[in-house]
Each structure stands twice: as C-alpha cells, then as structure tokens.
A and B are shown apart, each in its own frame.
Chain A
C-alpha cells in the first residue's frame, strides 16, 4: 500500500517537474508585448506630449 502511494507521489513529482520545465521554456508573450510597446514609444516618440506629472495624476486623464 505504501509502495503504491510512494509510486503515485513519484509520478506526481515527475509531472510537476515536467510542468516546471515547460513553464520555463514558454515565451512570455504578455511581457514581450509590454517591452515592445515601451521600445516603440521611445523610437516613435509617442509619449512626447504626455510627460509624467508630479502630482501623480493618471496618464489618461481626460480634459473636457
């Protein structure tokens, strides 16, 4: 009985380890998009008119 439980745990461990490796291999698409947008902002100077304000107001504050 113990041997069977040990086997099940070992199998689970193997799966977890495999999952670990898989996670590490995956390309972080969301982080890459964020990085790309930051670089595009700078290269195309898209944030030039929207300088950060000292008051910490949200960047997308609307003006009526």
Chain B
C-alpha cells in the first residue's frame, strides 16, 4: 500500500513536470542574443549588395542554407573576386547564425536542424525572379 501511495505521488510529480515541459516546448526559440543581433545586422547591411546579384541570377539560394555563385558569367570579370568575397562573408555569417541559434537555446546539436529550417525558409521566401536550388537543381522563382 505504501509503495502504491509513493508511486502515485511520483506519478503526479512526473505529470506536473511533463506539463511544464510541454509548455516550455510551445515557446519561441531564443534569438535575442547580442551575437545573433550582430549577425543579423551584418547580413542586413550585406543584403544591399547581394540583392542585385540574386535578381540577376548570378547568386542563388542553395539547399544547404548558404548562398552560391550560380552563374559566374553574368558577373563582369573585374567584379568576380568581389562577388566571391561577398558570398564567402555571407556564408560565414549564416553558418555562425545557425550555430548561435542552436547554442542560445542550449542545444548545440540542433545546428544542422536550424540550418535546414533556414534553408527551406530562405528558398520559400525568395522573391520572384531569384534562383533557388531545388532537389533537381537550380530553378527560378
């Protein structure tokens, strides 16, 4: 009888814990950290230079949550190095962003899930005319 009573108390405690946990799960992901804010700002500033490249098709949104040089020939030769630098800087920020979001939520192992989620959302929300990488290759939105 004592065992049963003890188990009943334990069960109630567990259910309460479970309810708290379920509630916590419904919340938002933590994205308000100084590191994430700095990355957002850096990417926002760079977007002014990247937007014309998305529109011209020179740069596309890749499936892995990065940006990629899709059509080098549409960039005049003298500007190609600059575009490559831009792409590298954007991808470094994006990688850091995915890592920071996972870390800010205490789950560094979520990094690849965060990356996949972003990859889908970048592509989903790309403007008409931009190039995005689908399962079968590059397609224009």
Q: How far is the CB of B40 from the nearest CB of chain A, in Å?
A: 5
Number of A-B contacts (CB under 8 A): 87
B97 pairs with A28, CB closer than 8 A? no
Q: Which residues of B contact A (CB under 8 A)?
A: 1, 3-4, 7-8, 10-11, 14-15, 17-18, 21-22, 25-29, 31, 36, 40, 43-44, 47, 97, 101, 107, 110, 113-114, 117-118, 120-122, 125
Q: Which 7 A-B pairs have the closest CB atoms?
A: A35-B29, A36-B121, A27-B113, A32-B117, A43-B43, A9-B7, A31-B29
Q: Which residues of A contact B (CB under 8 A)?
A: 2, 5-6, 9-10, 12-13, 16-17, 19-20, 23-24, 26-29, 31-40, 42-46
